[in-house]
Amino acid sequence: MSKSYDKIKKCFWIFFFFLLTEGIFRRWLLPEFNNMFLVIRDPFVIYAVVLGMRCGLFRSGVAKFIMGIGILCFIFALTIGHGNLLVAIYGARITVFYFPFIYIVSRVLSRDDVLKIGKVLVLMIIPMVFLNIVQFFSPQSSFVNIGVGGDEDGAGFGGAMGYFRPPGIFTFIAGLTDYYACSLGFLLYFYFCPEDAARMKLSRWLIILSVCAYFISIPVSISRTHFVQTGFILVFFVIMAIRSGKSFSRVIMFALFVVIAIPLLFLNNDTKLFIDVFMERFTGANESEGGLAKSAMERIFGWLFRAIDKAPLFGFGDGYFSNVGMKILHGDTNAYTGAIKNVVDSTEMEWGRIVCEDGVILGILLIVARIKIAYNVWRQSLNALCRRCDYLSWLLMPMAAFSVCIYQCKAPYNLGFMTLMIISVLVSLRTNNQQVISN
């Protein structure tokens, strides 16, 4: 049995490695094999799920429910949906394999494994921000901005004032914002709990410099998502600090550092440019979309209601509205006509995509199941915070709950980072450093 556990852990670490390096292979090292690296994590996920089921590690009721719905959606995709086997497999892998993978892996990792994940993410912050700055100032045709498959049009995405949103080592800005969101929870934890930081051989100065680099990354990214996710996580950080009482002084020092020291980094003309571009992007997007709050509500609920109104009862089939599905079924991600053209505008956000692909009934059931996971993660993390002052699960919980609710899982990066964050929270809820618990 222990050999199977070790194999599952190895599958997870390979999954983690390719999650962080997929873009490097697809853009720089092996661009001619970029399609292969798009799904490079999937075989290891599937193998771990098979091993976990053989060992009796798959016990989560909500994950079994999601898997069952996924199998039904796969059958409907082949029989009354698009009918393409490859597209159906690509779409169904999310529910049939990734959600079981989350709950199987979370029973074989230890709390120290989660801290090692955090160590890697924190160590990457400073070089990642440096790369973002270079990408910010470099033309899209430059080596640092080269696109997927060696595309010389670049991997940057529309920003403001002629500058593009940099993707870092990833293939798209979404991968970068996902990475930063995952890293912030760990960064705050190591700041707040220097004992564990020291145990992971992360010096106090490295943590402080990483905090500086992280806040620089917000305007450099030109991403409203990065800004909002940062604020969201900081709210939970403040709640935790108030609850901890005796360590509240650390939060006061952190707040003073952010309010006083960080603005000093943007006083010269070069760094002030980051703020100017970011504010232009923020202002322009708010004007065109009616403000940040209205835009968020429209993206989540507006597109969902339009999808419910337009989608067939059993949907168009799993995987249809992913980039892979569109290319296989139509030859291009924008080459759609007829009934598909009437609903495609509703599939950009996750809830609309789920309903359009899987139908109103099964789609809503999947959405409810994912909200249930988010609720469970929040409730267990709150209990851990209140009963035993467990800060790790509480700081990782915001992005885990947020991602499982509304992350666009048709995008491989979103799917990968969502999986990573939920696993990290479930393992960090453990009261000891041993493997295998019920979840």
Burial of 335 from C-beta contacts in 10 A (0-12 / 13-18 / 19+): exposed
Q: What is the pLDDT of residue 437?
A: 42
pLDDT in tens, 315-349: 889 998 888 888 888 877 666 666 666 676 667 78
Q: Measured between alpha carbons, how far is 321 from 91 in angstroms, rounded to an integer?
A: 9
Closest CA to 131 of 19, 217, 205, 210: 217
Ordered alpha helix ranges (H), 55-169: 61-79, 85-93, 99-105, 111-137
pLDDT in tens, 165-207: 899 999 989 999 999 999 999 999 998 888 999 999 999 999 9
pTM: 0.91
**Residue ranges per structural domain of the chain:** 118-289
Q: What is the pLDDT along the chain (439 residues), one digit of tens a residue?
A: 678 899 999 999 999 999 999 999 999 999 999 989 999 999 999 999 999 999 999 999 999 999 999 999 999 999 999 999 999 999 999 999 999 999 999 999 999 999 999 999 999 999 999 999 999 989 988 999 998 887 777 777 776 677 888 999 999 899 999 999 999 999 999 988 889 999 999 999 999 899 989 988 998 998 888 988 999 998 998 888 777 765 666 666 676 666 666 666 666 666 677 777 877 776 766 555 555 555 566 555 555 667 777 778 888 899 988 888 888 888 776 666 666 666 766 677 888 889 889 999 999 999 999 999 999 999 999 999 988 888 999 999 999 999 999 888 888 999 999 999 999 999 999 865 555 444 4
Task: Name the CA dihedral angle for 212, 214, 220, 224, rounded to a multiple of 10 degrees.
Answer: -130
Contact assessment for residue 66 and residue 374, using Cβ atoms and an 8 Å cutoff: no
Closest CA to 311 of 350, 370, 354: 354
Using a CB cutoff of 8 Å and minimum separation of 24, what contacts does 193-199 make?
193/391, 193/392, 196/115, 196/392, 199/115
Contact assessment for residue 328 and residue 87, using Cβ atoms and an 8 Å cutoff: yes
Q: Measured between alpha carbons, how far is 383 from 422 in angstroms, rounded to an integer?
A: 17
Q: Measured between alpha carbons, how far is 165 from 168 in angstroms, rounded to an integer?
A: 9
Q: What does the H/E/C string look like for 316-367?
A: CCCCCCCHHHHHHHHCCCCCCCHHHHHHHHHCCCHHHHHHHHHCHHHHHHHH
Q: Measured between alpha carbons, how far is 39 from 18 in angstroms, rounded to an integer?
A: 10
